[in-house]
Amino acid sequence: MSVALLFASGSRAPAAPQSASLLINDSYATMPAWDDVYNAPWNTNAGQIAWTIEPTGGATDPTGNASYLRVVRQEAGSSVMVKHYTVPQNTDIYVGAWMRCPSDYNPAPGENYWMEMSYKIGAWGGQDFDDPATGGSWFPLVMKFAYAGPNGNGNVWTWYASAAPKNSGSSTVVSIGYKVGTLYNTTTYQQPPVGPDLGYDGIFISDQPMTTPPAPPSGPGPLPSPTPSTGGGDDKNRNLCGCGTAGAPGGSGLGLAMILAGGLLALRRR
């Protein structure tokens, strides 16, 4: 079961969560130095997934940074990025982030996509998150979208945070995992040239429940197709798994604003 605190988007300037002792605030100004990159062995052309930092379209923090982590998957498969952060021992750990996921993907029956975010105490890799035999240890998830439900959030930046903590115990490390995948039958269905186009914005780690999120951003507007990487160069925005590079998003803000008074506790089942 996935448990998350859900708050809808608005247009205020970002601020730190209230009623929480913030341990980590990573705004994705640059590509994280991933501690593990994992592509499941059944991936189709595993390189056809782009993890990029886009300079605009995300939450604008007090320094003016509006970048975010964009993920575009163009082939079937499952991929995970993991980042390790240092946390105090014997401390309740809560994690929150902004996510956006379109709701208009409509694969053929029996086919699916997924966008997940979760965390696990200790230094773990992406295979541990992706493998069904061990992935349950990452539950409850911060959030999961899938065609089987919930099918996206209308591509609106929305705040999700763990409702229950995971105690660090004797460990001083927490692993944050991002998982994106698609599953389809190539004999009956061809995924569009641009597959699921998703966004993560900011990672917040606290020792208290984050009952009030950082101020929500406006949506990014229409996004262009990703441009495959030609290799070479030292582009800090190019993902570290040797995959493609996506162009910067354009367009105006999404313009859609919803307010859930007092917050809404949402229960998600994996």
Q: Is residue 62 pLDDT above 70, yes or no?
A: no
pLDDT > 90 fraction of the chain, expressed in percent and rounded: 40
| Dist CA 68 CA 214 (whole Å) | 14
Q: Which residues make beta-bridge pairs with 85? A: 174
| Dist CA 160 CA 4 (whole Å) | 6
Q: Are 69 and 178 in contact (CB under 8 A)?
A: yes
DSSP string, 85-104: EE--TT-EEEEEEEEE--S-
Query: What average pLDDT does the segment 122-136 reach?
Result: 97
Query: What average pLDDT does the segment 82-89 reach?
Result: 96
Query: What average pLDDT does the segment 104-118 reach?
Result: 78
* Residue 74 burial class via C-beta count within 10 angstroms: exposed 0-12, middle 13-18, buried 19 and up: buried
State the pLDDT at residue 152.
Answer: 92
Characterize 99-122 residue by residue with b for buried, 16 or more Cβ atoms within 10 angstroms of its Cβ, and e for exposed.
bbbbeebeeeeebebbbbbbbbbe
State the pLDDT at residue 164.
Answer: 94
Radius of gyration of the chain (CA): 17
- CA distances to 10, 90, 198, 228, 243 from 127, in Å: 35, 26, 21, 25, 18
Helix (H) or strand (E) holding 26: strand 22-26
Q: Which residues make beta-bridge pairs with 179? A: 80, 116
φ/ψ (deg, to 5) at 82: -130, 135
- Which is more confident, 238 or 93? 93
Characterize 221-254 residue by residue with b for buried, 16 or more Cβ atoms within 10 angstroms of its Cβ, and e for exposed.
eebeebeebeeeeeeebbbebebbbbeebeeeeb
Query: What average pLDDT does the segment 148-167 reach?
Result: 91
- Which is more confident, 157 or 61? 157
State the pLDDT at residue 255.
Answer: 32
- Which is more confident, 234 or 151? 151
Which numeric CATH code is attached to 2-268?
Answer: 2.60.120.200
Q: Which residues make beta-bridge pairs with 134? A: none
Across all residues in the chain, what is the average pLDDT? Answer: 72
Query: What average pLDDT does the segment 233-244 reach?
Result: 29
| Dist CA 104 CA 254 (whole Å) | 16
Alpha helices (H) in 36-164, listed in sequence order: 126-130
State the pLDDT at residue 147.
Answer: 82
Query: Which residues fall within 8 angstroms of residue 190, CB to CB, at 6 or more apart?
Result: none
- CA distances to 162, 234, 235 from 119, in Å: 9, 30, 28
Q: Are 39 and 79 in contact (CB under 8 A)?
A: yes
Residue pLDDT, tens place only, 191-226: 544 567 899 998 899 999 987 765 544 444 333 333
